Chain A
């Protein structure tokens, strides 16, 4: 690990800091998302952008688990699946509007988070990764084998959340924006600090009174809720879900978005998610070779910027803190 220079920093780096730390950056991102349909409103483009927004929400959720808390989760699609299937099954079986299934989705995802988290969070790093990988597959295979989930062909005819494609896109963008801001705020709270204490040094965190098991469980549950709600949006978007949407590849892509953007950095993660979800579409002209190009591009980015495109920084802005004279 390189030791960053602690001395006076250059004017250029200060300028970059003030730009990247600007709170308006988030609103600018939201504005881009809101204005995008005015540039291209073909059904295809709207569909791709909706998927990208849902993917951003997934990445924001996984960032809580992996980025803030440092728990490597290779089966995150499991929570995505639990949310999508809970809302899909309830709405088609009982003829409910999708919104009415939200309480059940929350309960189901929290239960899934606890069931998966309780036995696994006692494990450290590599073991946790393997076990979550297994749980991700268990959820997918269960969905394939149960009758209630429609077996391998899945569920059809899930009602939408909004009338047409455009309004559903806007609804999705707003929900995702709230989810991203929520994740960021959690990250700056007492709980969010506790997550990062656990990531940095579990023993020191315990010594300061952080119940590391509970805190890790909280990260897992928060991640599960974000993933589950993204699953509801996904079900509403496609109106059909099948086990093939919740493979290990999906988990790996979300993790890729988090790592590419910069673990623990909400801005980076949003950008990472947008790139991961849009790049294969932009490379469509390469036909059969597009995933080769996609892979090569990702490898190049990770070689050039291993810390991610927009990494989290430990430095905090002085404005957020009280003047020292006040306490002396």
Chain B
């Protein structure tokens, strides 16, 4: 049987929804094809005096998987929030195919073809699983209030189509649980799948996954790895925040490493894993003798002070 959903996916996404784009054409550029899908330029974000992101620059090409890694508190999720419009960066720019999207509201960024998941699952708990995935169709379903009030053929057709789409993406994400019941009733791993299905139903060009494998067991992680690859095969670029290094090294084409809001490495996984600065950020510096001596001295000194 022919799959209607694939046609929809292959359709070029051109959303005329948003008219408030700051800088639709980059003066220095030839055409939109010259631009990477996503480019983040010298992004800075501070909360009061705390620098959460201190100069982050990287790009993501079409259908590329880029991982953003770093210790907890390195500013990875903050970077996601800047890209998707939840935070307004203090300085720097976020461009989507050359178009400046910095400071747009999240729904406007979503309208341009960006979907995301959240580190702590953010499902619509009291709504059915299918309704959750239908949220992803909100931007492309055409339905007026009058269609809804009069149940016009367009309403029925639209509702049928988005239901099929919801089923399709739940199948794609490999959901085994009950689709008709409330999302909160599903086990944790299944909720992760629903969140990804919801993001895919948006038919994004760029998908931001914030720790998709967190809290999953070994088998579920393998399935997640497979799912991420299959998403990429649809032509969707992925930016991945993940702590599971096995998964990151396995799936990524490029890895960007953040530490204390600073970018310390950007390259293919093999290269990044050998980078001494990255190793240091993850494992701590080799404690050299001088430092150990100093620590001993301070401990001893403290004891002396206490005695005096």
- B186 nearest CB across to chain A (Å): 7
> Which residues of chain A are near B151, meaning CB under 8 Å?
185
Pairwise interchain contact A196-B124, C-beta atoms closer than 8 A: yes
Which stretch, B48-56, B93-101, B175-183, B293-301, touches the partner chain A?
A: B175-183
> Which residues of chain B are near A321, meaning CB under 8 Å?
130, 163, 167, 180
Decide if B305 is an interface residue (CB 8 Å cutoff): no
Within 8 A of A (CB), among B97-147: 105-108, 110-111, 115-116, 118, 122-128, 130-131, 134-136, 138-139, 141, 143, 145, 147
Pairwise interchain contact B164-A209, C-beta atoms closer than 8 A: no
- A88 nearest CB across to chain B (Å): 27
Which of A191, A200, A211, A320 sits near B124, CB closer than 8 Å?
A200
Complex Cα gap A205–B124 (Å): 9
> Which residues of chain B are near A188, meaning CB under 8 Å?
148
Pairwise interchain contact A193-B138, C-beta atoms closer than 8 A: yes
Decide if B88 is an interface residue (CB 8 Å cutoff): no
Pairwise interchain contact A315-B182, C-beta atoms closer than 8 A: yes
Pairwise interchain contact A207-B145, C-beta atoms closer than 8 A: no
Decide if A322 is an interface residue (CB 8 Å cutoff): yes
> Which residues of chain B are near A16, meaning CB under 8 Å?
none
> Which residues of chain A are near B184, meaning CB under 8 Å?
3, 314
Decide if B230 is an interface residue (CB 8 Å cutoff): no
Decide if A12 is an interface residue (CB 8 Å cutoff): no
Q: What are 18 pairs between A and B in contact, CB < 8 Å?
A: A3-B185, A6-B186, A186-B145, A190-B138, A191-B148, A196-B124, A203-B106, A204-B122, A204-B123, A205-B124, A207-B115, A208-B138, A209-B111, A210-B138, A314-B183, A315-B182, A321-B167, A328-B1
- B58 nearest CB across to chain A (Å): 21
Pairwise interchain contact A314-B123, C-beta atoms closer than 8 A: no
Decide if B198 is an interface residue (CB 8 Å cutoff): yes
Within 8 A of A (CB), among B165-213: 165, 167-168, 171, 177-178, 180-186, 198-199, 202
Pairwise interchain contact A327-B171, C-beta atoms closer than 8 A: yes
Chain A positions 78 through 106: 1 when the CB is less than 8 Å from some CB of chain B, otherwise 0: 00000000000000000000000000000
Which B residues have a C-beta under 8 Å from some C-beta of A?
Answer: 1, 3-5, 17, 84-86, 105-108, 110-111, 115-116, 118, 122-128, 130-131, 134-136, 138-139, 141, 143, 145, 147-149, 151, 155, 158, 160, 163-165, 167-168, 171, 177-178, 180-186, 198-199, 202
Chain A positions 298 through 328: 1 when the CB is less than 8 Å from some CB of chain B, otherwise 0: 0000000000000000111110111010111
Pairwise interchain contact B155-A189, C-beta atoms closer than 8 A: yes
Complex Cα gap A318–B118 (Å): 29
Pairwise interchain contact A209-B178, C-beta atoms closer than 8 A: no
Complex Cα gap A211–B138 (Å): 10
Pairwise interchain contact B185-A186, C-beta atoms closer than 8 A: no
Which of A185, A191, A194, A322 sits near B164, CB closer than 8 Å?
A322
Closest B residue to A214 by CB, please name it: B107
Q: A193-B135, A315-B128, A327-B167 are in contact. Are A211 and B116 (CB under 8 A)?
A: no
The 7 closest A-B pairs by CB, nearest first: A189-B148, A314-B182, A209-B110, A200-B124, A206-B106, A204-B122, A209-B139
- A314 nearest CB across to chain B (Å): 3
Complex Cα gap A117–B199 (Å): 30
Within 8 A of B (CB), among A43-79: none
> Which residues of chain A are near B178, meaning CB under 8 Å?
6
What 12 additional pairs, Cβ within 8 angstroms, besides A190-B143, A200-B127, A327-B168?
A3-B184, A6-B177, A185-B148, A193-B131, A197-B138, A203-B86, A207-B106, A207-B118, A208-B138, A208-B139, A321-B163, A327-B167
Complex Cα gap A326–B25 (Å): 43
Decide if A192 is an interface residue (CB 8 Å cutoff): yes
